[in-house]
A = this chain, B = another copy of it.
Amino acid sequence: MSIIKVAILGFGTVGEGVYRTIQSHAAEFTAVLGKKVEVAAILIKNKHKNRDVGEEVLLTTDFDEILGLPQLDVVIEAIVDKEPTFTFLKKAIARGCHIITANKEMFAHHGKELLDLSKKNNVSVGYEATVAGGIPVIQTLRQLLKINRVSLIQGILNGTSNFILSEMREKKQSFAESLCQAQENGYAEADPTNDIEGFDAFYKAMILSRIVFGEEPEWRDVERQGITSITSELIAAAEKLELRFKHVASISREDGYIIASVKPVLVGNENPFYHVEGVENAVNVHSDIVGRITLQGPGAGMFPTASAMIEDLVYVCQSRPAERNAVKITAECIGSSKTVEQKEYWLVQGLAESSGVTLVEEVSEGILLIEAAKKDLDVLAAQQPGICYFSILGEIDLSVLNKAAVTVI
């Protein structure tokens, strides 16, 4: 039986998960691919560390040694930084290898270039693991929704932020306490900036935008906000309105423009996101034929991430040139982002009086439910730096309010 030779770059949590899974699921690979899958080499940092890996596997710190192997079919990348990863993967493609990556930051920056390069070299790129861990959202969009026109995709894409928001609400903890909790559980890194400031979710959103709409909005036009401004008071006020804070990435096309944002929003009980707690991820896909479908599952972790890369391994080995790296086509043209004009409800804190917005209800001390257009709030925010405001996804049920009479402040 012929053999597929694989190299794994990095032997951290994910890299080891991929290696173990290839060993434990040999029977499945053989049955599905009709070929044996063999890990030929692993790129490591420290040669002296003891690792439980078969002797037939080349352990090396030198990527060129891996490229020099007589047979190499797929390179699976599980390193963190943008570089040298990007350089490695370009070389792998030039060498004629399919590549599989879990590196969202690198792929958000260089995905287009890698996809173009792979087309030229007639190889495939698997990047399911870059978004929503084990949830097969990218392959659902690439393979299962080819005719549906996606108009909006929303996701809880950062498990760390979602865990912190869940802890704050359930245990009535402060942000700081919940962050510590996340770090103790290994859900947040020593420097949590990427997660809590929304960079991680932003990169994932840009990757989704490219799949769904064929391109990305101007990065500078994308509103990116983390969860650091969410206080216990805000969470309590939201609960009074039967709403929950979720950190949501949203990418939509309106009148041929891509509009994207990554920020905390408020969702009601009717939205599947309301019930997504802890480190789970979830994605709502709105398409013109099927309507809204929701995918939910583990957004990170050794084996969920390995699962995405392992299934990608089958995908890249089976995909045909014609289908390779196809992004979802759209029959319409796409411009750059624009700002939304219509009035919405907002939960606002730190708003000065006589701001000219419509007050629906003072939910609690200094926290207001108002109705306003985003552009007007942006203007106010420029004048009143203290303000923070959060939009409400979908309808709000005003009947939960004591009164629904509105005044202008």
Q: Which residues does A use to contact B, with CB under 8 Å?
A: 21, 25, 27-29, 31-32, 34, 134-136, 139-140, 143-149, 269, 272, 274-275, 287, 289-298, 301, 303-304, 306-308, 310-311, 313-314, 318, 320, 322-323, 326, 329, 331
- Which residues of chain B come closer than 8 Å to A297, judged between CB atoms? 290-294
Q: Are B294 and A293 interface neighbours, CB within 8 A?
A: no
Q: Are A28 and B331 interface neighbours, CB within 8 A?
A: yes
- Of B34, B147, B298, which one neighbours A291 at CB under 8 angstroms? B298
Q: Are A311 and B148 interface neighbours, CB within 8 A?
A: yes
Q: A291-B303, A293-B295 are in contact. List 4 more A-B contacts (CB 8 A).
A: A134-B291, A144-B144, A269-B275, A293-B298
- Which residues of chain B come closer than 8 Å to A143, judged between CB atoms? 139, 143-144
- Which residues of chain B come closer than 8 Å to A144, judged between CB atoms? 136, 139-140, 143-144, 311
- Which residues of chain B come closer than 8 Å to A293, judged between CB atoms? 134-136, 295-298
Known: A297-B294, A329-B32. Is A21-B289 also a contact (CB below 8 A)? yes
A287 CB, min distance to chain B CBs, angstroms? 7
- Which residues of chain B come closer than 8 Å to A303, judged between CB atoms? 289-291
C-alpha gap A329/B314 in the complex (Å): 14
C-alpha gap A274/B289 in the complex (Å): 26
Q: Are A290 and B307 interface neighbours, CB within 8 A?
A: yes
Q: Which residue of B lies closest to A296 (CB)?
A: B294
- Which residues of chain B come closer than 8 Å to A301, judged between CB atoms? 291
- Which residues of chain B come closer than 8 Å to A145, judged between CB atoms? 136, 311
Q: Which residue of B lies closest to A21 (CB)?
A: B289
